[in-house]
Chain A
Amino acid sequence: MTFTSSRLEHRRYDGSLLEVKDVTLQFGGVTALRGVNFTVEENELFAVIGPNGAGKTSIFNCLNGVYRPQEGSIRFQGVEIVGRRPPAIAQLGMARTFQNLGLFVNLNVIDNLMLGRHVRMRSGFLSGMAWVGRARNEEIANRRRVEEIIELLALQPFRYEPVGSLPYGIQKKIELGRALAMDPRILLLDEPVAGMNLGETEDMARLILEIRHELNLTMILVEHDLHMVMELADRLLVLDFGEPIALGGPAEVQANPRVIAAYLGSGET
């Protein structure tokens, strides 16, 4: 069995897969992000960390088009995406998960994952109703892809369970599965282990590595759990009050005095 995704043909582009340049985001007089710069390369696991309210989730919201930064540019596969609507950006191949789950609790696992396939569907409403031609073939292909994801995430025991009745740790996995169902080029994970116990956290960390390994996927991770991030990420960006204070590999960042100060308080107190 191999992953037979109906992946979109990859765009050709110069430079990095994702380039964020001088992004500044303000709400009225409050500056949420100021002068954020970073790039993410193909197949990289990039992490954004910082204390509460540092602007981590704001970056995600800028990337996937929910917020529009006042300044700066974000180029994804060479295309400027600032100003584009979230569905258009999703179509380009950016998928995300949410900190506090965005699943349809009354639908079962399959249906939730099939919804993730929606961006990859081409057939129209009428052919879908008549269940002929393209709609039928598409549905079968999509269902197959969903099964591949179910296998990857070991969700087999839960296929037809309403999502709302499942344990939190499983729901987090389903959320991840729905994002994967979009066949993204880049996956944004917003605190994938928030609220999980130790066992579930380890499970999720293993899964993230496996996904990266098997699907060759580029990921950006926003996380609170520093320990996990240091283990998983290739490079990190550290934010404090919306400003980038460090960027680099785990060892480098850990030794950075500004990071230590932001996390542990400055040495003088």
Chain B
Amino acid sequence: MTATIAPPPAPDLAAGPATLPEWLLLQSEMRPKAVAMRVKELGRWREISWREHADRVEAVGRALATFGVSRGERVLLLSENRPEWIVTDLAVQGLGASTVGVFPTTPVAEVGLLLARSGARVAVVEDEEQLDKLLELQKGSSLERIVVIDTRGIRLLEDPASSFDALESLGSREAVELRSADPDEWRVAVGRLAPDDVAAIAFTPGTSGEPKGALLTHANLAAAAEVGMTEYGLRAGDRIVSVLPLCEIAERVLAVAQATSAGCTVHFGEGGDALENDIREVRPTVFLGAPRLWQRLRESIDVGLRNAGHVKRAAFKFGTSGGPRVLRSLLATGPVRKRVGLTRVRLALAGGAPMPTDLHAWWAALGVDVREIYGLTETCGVGTLVGADAPTGSVGRALPGTEIKVAPDREILVRGRCVFAGYLDDPDETRGAIDGDGWCHTGDLGALDDEGNLTIVGRRKDVIVTSGGHTVAPAPIERRLTGSPFVRAAVVVGDGRPHVGALLSLEGEAVGDWAAEQGLAFTTHAALVARPEVRDLVQGVVDAVNEDLSAEEQVRAFALLPEDLSEDDGALTATLKVRRTATAERFAELVESMYA
């Protein structure tokens, strides 16, 4: 921000603001007392109005400016979802700087890598645990300041660390007036943001290879925000529960971009095991979950049903099998949806990973139409949305403002305002990702039908060529396998092998319940997996999947993993996607045994 200031240009309301900080100012002006966010603290939901939210953003922005954060700078943000995440993000954007969101679960070495790549001088961290990571990395790095949101457990907060509260009071209106600076400075600065400036750097999870920093501009975010209003029909008062990590593009687009522009209320609950409680209390109208989460909610209903009496179970069976809608909803679907808090949900979205087809059908029987979205970090989460007429298994048609085509080599290409500006300091990768005509090369393989519905076949790098020369895309097979309630994760292998095989990780709880019903004794997950009866059970699942597959695609061998895949051993990405190569490498012996 400079000292010489021209009068602010009048905002062009008809066109809508071009940046999120501008949208926030508009909300705070038009609906100052409406609720922007609710956060559950000490068992109670605390409300934050748009005015309050905007004031906090302004204060934090001004304070960060005194730390030297300005246009083109980057600020590291390491926190779980919470109001301060969004406050920090919008404040940084308002300064013309960009936010680098880092998953709180990221190990310290990788945080160091992201810090070095971004050259951030300021970091905002959630708590002591994250602070410790940065204090360890600070020496010899670009980092000058660390702001801690939750200071509990920290004895002494000394340079370079300070508290978020202190940051807010440093930038508060009173403090600014004391320093006799211009109180309208913020508004003016926000009005002058350049749409093509970078607003966020999102390091892509990197299912294969090292993480790359995708540069997202204000215009990208504004394009994504527009989708919320035009396509999703989001409106003021819609209730959203923030569940997926805000570092993930789909969640960031919904809870920050679309919620800020449409004026929805974002809820931050207690999360973890209390998530079901949060959803029940909020009764969201819009709900975005990864397929894993939809599966988890389904399981909680299943468990409830198993413990319910005959009458309830019969009613549920009747209710989900067809018949008059009113009767069904009265008897079964209504009460069940109430149990998970999804009575009011108007828009149910699944993103982040492919949705197993029968999971979709299961929810549809309950009257919850889970619509899959397809988008990459590189396209700011925007791509396609499943419409009412989309064929099963497809991810729907291109969203307005977005063009989609499939190249001759079957790679999916996306073009539009949502396409990112390139990778941070990596012109080679950027040239590979965006071609001269502005098409973003997604690296995903797909097919388009005559209606324009897109079906994802797999990642280009992941295609398996068997020793017989047959090309097999593993993703659709994995998707079918994980459609079984007993299979948590599947990794299909077979590159250079005579036939396709699969590594399967079982859903411990579901298989455990099944085993208990069968009267099978077991102690640990590994012991359970080793039971021949369990192997027979899984063989049944595999056989059923094979029925729909061509001869080359059929899974002829499988092995059961003795443990859960986890983030720590590199088998899962931070967003819990399975890393195919890492998993196959880690369990190389099992793979060999399949082909022995």
A157 CA to B41 CA, complexed, in Å: 14
Contact (Cβ within 8 A) A157 B274: yes
The segment from A70-78, A120-128, A143-151, A179-187 found at the interface with B is A143-151
Interface size on B, residues (CB 8 A): 12
Judge if A2 is at the interface, Cβ distance under 8 Å.
yes
A2 CA to B41 CA, complexed, in Å: 12
Contact (Cβ within 8 A) A213 B153: yes
How far apart are B309's CB and chain A's nearest CB, in angstroms? 18
Q: Which residues of chain B come closer than 8 Å to A150, judged between CB atoms? A: 42-43
Judge if B272 is at the interface, Cβ distance under 8 Å.
yes
Give 1 or 0 for each of A207-236: 1 = CB within 8 Å of chain B CB.
000100110000000000000000000000
Contact (Cβ within 8 A) B42 A148: yes
**Cross-chain contact of A151 among B42, B153, B273, B277 (Cβ < 8 A):** B42
**Cross-chain contact of B43 among A3, A159, A214 (Cβ < 8 A):** A159
How far apart are B273's CB and chain A's nearest CB, in angstroms? 4
Contact (Cβ within 8 A) A154 B153: no
How far apart are B41's CB and chain A's nearest CB, in angstroms? 6
Contact (Cβ within 8 A) B274 A156: yes
| Smallest CB gap from A160: residue in B | B277
Q: Which residues of chain B come closer than 8 Å to A157, judged between CB atoms? A: 270, 272-274, 277
Judge if B461 is at the interface, Cβ distance under 8 Å.
no
Q: Which residues of chain B come closer than 8 Å to A148, judged between CB atoms? A: 42
Q: Which residues of chain A come closer than 8 Å to B44, judged between CB atoms? A: 147
For window 106-140 of chain A, which residues contact chain B by CB distance below 8 Å? none
Judge if A264 is at the interface, Cβ distance under 8 Å.
no
Judge if A30 is at the interface, Cβ distance under 8 Å.
no
Judge if B310 is at the interface, Cβ distance under 8 Å.
no
Give 1 or 0 for each of B257-276: 1 = CB within 8 Å of chain A CB.
00000000000001011100
Contact (Cβ within 8 A) B42 A2: no
A144 CA to B270 CA, complexed, in Å: 16
Contact (Cβ within 8 A) A147 B43: yes
A213 CA to B129 CA, complexed, in Å: 13
For window 81-105 of chain A, which residues contact chain B by CB distance below 8 Å? none
Q: Which residues of chain A come closer than 8 Å to B277, judged between CB atoms? A: 156-157
Give 1 or 0 for each of A227-250: 1 = CB within 8 Å of chain B CB.
000000000000000000000000
A91 CA to B272 CA, complexed, in Å: 36
For window 258-307 of chain B, which residues contact chain A by CB distance below 8 Å? 270, 272-274, 277
Judge if A1 is at the interface, Cβ distance under 8 Å.
yes
Q: Which residues of chain B come closer than 8 Å to A3, judged between CB atoms? A: 152
**Cross-chain contact of B41 among A1, A154, A210, A214 (Cβ < 8 A):** A1
A214 CA to B155 CA, complexed, in Å: 9
How far apart are A116's CB and chain B's nearest CB, in angstroms? 16
**Cross-chain contact of B152 among A1, A144, A156 (Cβ < 8 A):** A1
A210 CA to B41 CA, complexed, in Å: 20
A172 CA to B464 CA, complexed, in Å: 51
Q: A2, A144, A151, A157 — which one has the most chain B CB atoms within 10 A of its CB?
A: A157
How far apart are B127's CB and chain A's nearest CB, in angstroms? 11
Evaluate whether A1 and B272 lie within 8 angstroms (CB atoms) in the complex, with A156-B277, A210-B153 already known: no
For window 233-273 of chain B, which residues contact chain A by CB distance below 8 Å? 270, 272-273
Judge if B150 is at the interface, Cβ distance under 8 Å.
yes
Q: Which residues of chain B come closer than 8 Å to A1, judged between CB atoms? A: 41-42, 150, 152
Q: B41, B42, B150, B274 — which one has the most chain A CB atoms within 10 A of its CB?
A: B42
Q: Which residues of chain B come closer than 8 Å to A144, judged between CB atoms? A: 42
| Smallest CB gap from B40: residue in A | A156
A154 CA to B270 CA, complexed, in Å: 9
Contact (Cβ within 8 A) B153 A214: yes
How far apart are B188's CB and chain A's nearest CB, in angstroms? 35
For window 167-225 of chain B, which residues contact chain A by CB distance below 8 Å? none
For window 142-184 of chain A, which residues contact chain B by CB distance below 8 Å? 144, 147-148, 150-151, 154, 156-157, 159
Contact (Cβ within 8 A) A2 B152: yes
How far apart are A180's CB and chain B's nearest CB, in angstroms? 15
Q: Which residues of chain B come closer than 8 Å to A151, judged between CB atoms? A: 42
Q: B43, B44, B272, B277 — which one has the most chain A CB atoms within 10 A of its CB?
A: B43
Q: Which residues of chain A come closer than 8 Å to B274, judged between CB atoms? A: 156-157
How far apart are B130's CB and chain A's nearest CB, in angstroms? 16
A212 CA to B449 CA, complexed, in Å: 62
For window 46-65 of chain A, which residues contact chain B by CB distance below 8 Å? none
A112 CA to B43 CA, complexed, in Å: 16
For window 520-569 of chain B, which residues contact chain A by CB distance below 8 Å? none
Q: Which residues of chain A come closer than 8 Å to B42, judged between CB atoms? A: 1, 144, 147-148, 150-151
Q: Which residues of chain A come closer than 8 Å to B150, judged between CB atoms? A: 1
How far apart are B430's CB and chain A's nearest CB, in angstroms? 43
Q: Which residues of chain A come closer than 8 Å to B273, judged between CB atoms? A: 156-157
How far apart are A208's CB and chain B's nearest CB, in angstroms? 14
Q: Which residues of chain A come closer than 8 Å to B152, judged between CB atoms? A: 1-3, 214
How far apart are A206's CB and chain B's nearest CB, in angstroms? 12
For window 8-62 of chain B, which residues contact chain A by CB distance below 8 Å? 41-44
How far apart are A67's CB and chain B's nearest CB, in angstroms? 36
How far apart are A45's CB and chain B's nearest CB, in angstroms? 16
Q: With contacts A1-B152, A156-B277, A157-B270 known, what are 11 further pairs, Cβ within 8 A?
A: A2-B152, A3-B152, A147-B43, A150-B42, A150-B43, A154-B272, A156-B273, A159-B43, A210-B153, A213-B153, A214-B153
CB<8 Å pairs between A and B, sample of 30: A1-B41, A1-B42, A1-B150, A1-B152, A2-B152, A3-B152, A144-B42, A147-B42, A147-B43, A147-B44, A148-B42, A150-B42, A150-B43, A151-B42, A154-B272, A156-B43, A156-B270, A156-B272, A156-B273, A156-B274, A156-B277, A157-B270, A157-B272, A157-B274, A157-B277, A159-B43, A210-B153, A213-B153, A214-B152, A214-B153
The 4 closest A-B pairs by CB, nearest first: A147-B42, A157-B273, A156-B274, A157-B274
